[in-house]
Amino acid sequence: MSEVSYPKVQFVEVQAEEAGQRIDNFLLKKLKGVPKSRIYKMLRKGEVRVNKGRVKAEYKIEAADMVRIPPVRVAESKTQVPTALNKVQALEKAIIYEDSRIIVLNKPHGMAVHGGSGMSYGVIEAMRALRPKAPYLELVHRLDRDTSGCLLIAKKRSALRFLHQQLQKKTMTKRYWALVNGQWPKKLKQVDAPLAKNQVKSGERLVRVTEEGKASLTSFRIIETFQSTTLVSAEPITGRTHQIRVHAQYAGCGLVGDPKYGEDAINQKLKTKGLSERLFLHAYSLKFRVSPESKPITVEAPLPQPLENTLDYLRAGNSLGD
Q: How many helices (H) and strands (E) does the chain have?
A: 8, 18
Is 162 among the domain residues?
Answer: no
- Predicted pLDDT at 272: 84
pTM, rounded to two decimals: 0.76
Instruction: Convert the pLDDT of each residue in 239-251 to its tens digit.
Output: 899 999 999 999 9
Do 223 and 309 lie in one domain? The reply is yes
Is 164 among the domain residues?
Answer: no
Do 238 and 289 lie in one domain? The reply is yes
Do 180 and 311 lie in one domain? The reply is yes
Provide the angle, in degrees to the nearest 10, between the axes of the packed helices 36-44 and 23-30. 130
Do 269 and 208 lie in one domain? The reply is yes
Mean pLDDT, range 294-317, rounded to an integer: 94
pLDDT higher than threshold 70 for residue 267 = yes
User: pLDDT band for position 1 (50/70/90)?
Assistant: very low
CA pair distance 301, 81, nearest whole angstrom: 25
Do 183 and 246 lie in one domain? The reply is yes
pLDDT higher than threshold 70 for residue 220 = yes
From the candidates 24, 65, 99, 144, give the one annotated as an active-site residue.
Answer: 144
Report the domain count for the chain: 3
Do 18 and 92 lie in one domain? The reply is no
Do 204 and 299 lie in one domain? The reply is yes
pLDDT higher than threshold 90 for residue 43 = yes
With the CA atoms of 222, 144, 150 and 111 taken in that order, what torsion angle do they form, in degrees rounded to the nearest 10? -130
Let me know if 264 is a catalytic residue. Answer: no
From 124, 157, 190, the end of a domain falls on 157
Residue partners of 283: CB distance under 8 A and separation at least 6: 107, 143, 147, 148, 149, 150, 151, 174, 175, 176, 301
- The parent domain of residue 24 ranges over 3-75
User: For the chain, what is the mean pLDDT?
Assistant: 88
Instruction: Convert the pLDDT of each residue in 131-190 to its tens digit.
Output: 888 888 999 999 999 999 999 999 998 899 899 999 989 999 999 999 999 999 999 999
